[in-house]
Amino acid sequence: MNDYYLIVTYILGGILGLCVGSFLNVVIYRVPEGMSLASPPSHCPRCKYSLKWYDNIPVLSYIILGGKCRSCKTHISFRYTAVELTNTLLWLLSVYAYAKDNLPYAIICALGCSVLVCIFFIDLEHKIIPDRFQIILGLLGIAAIFFDKNTQWYSHLVGAAAGGTVFGLVAYFGSRKYGKEALGGGDIKLSIVSGLLLGWEKLLVAMLVATVGGSIILLSLRAKKDQAKDTEYPFAPFITAGIAFALFFGDKLIDAYMSLIRSGF
């Protein structure tokens, strides 16, 4: 891919990422509520004002409206803009990391990241991971077997098996030790499809990021006086962050580590 087409790909990736991010807000809001994604049209949850096209321009409309509904002036959560910007950044990273040499895999990564964004925010708010997202990630994982040039095809299958086994054991022994569910079934399914998408090597990177990052943040939260000891926290946001990190930086991190091993530190 020459420089001209690469620049065009960046522009299209950014625009599409922003537009898809706007749609993800609909998905994140409606799927947990069992609502249709097609109807009713986008509206203010409080006054039911139907948004016009110029109220739905990603990021720009939020700035123009000052973060408030045009009709009732109710505050609009910044989460909507955060989702749009996050998805745009992830799509641009997909283009940067893979589009020049492997456009199909760049598309797989971009779509996978959009699914991860949905899982992140839905689990953060509702503590659930709808199965439809697991299925989509699984299908993208199957596609990755054929287009991931940096990972052997069997590594994806081993990753799926390893992810399910490790997280299944953690859930089993954790529940026996603490007398309650230590890890949700949705998290176990997510680890399986994550292993299929990443391969076992990058899955290790993802889980390292997830567990270290999750431990630091959760311990900080539990240290607060107003947090009860038995408060439950969603873990999928940390897993999704680890997966995204591994998608873009996993191979480089693994190569750097292997170089250190070969050089004897």
d(CA 255, CA 239) in angstroms, rounded, equals 22
User: What are the tokens at 132?
Assistant: 């439809």
Task: Enter the tokens of residue 182.
Answer: 């230590």
* Residues 212, 199: Cα–Cα separation, whole Å: 20
CB of 141 closer than 8 Å to CB of 196: yes
pLDDT tens sequence across 170-179: 877 777 776 6
Pick 193 or 257 by higher pLDDT.
193
- The dihedral through the CA atoms of 230, 165, 118, 209 has a sign that is positive
The SS3 call for residue 35 is coil
14-53 residue pLDDT tens:
999 999 999 999 999 999 999 999 888 888 878 888 888 8
pTM above 0.85, yes or no: yes
CB atoms within 10 A of CB 234: 21
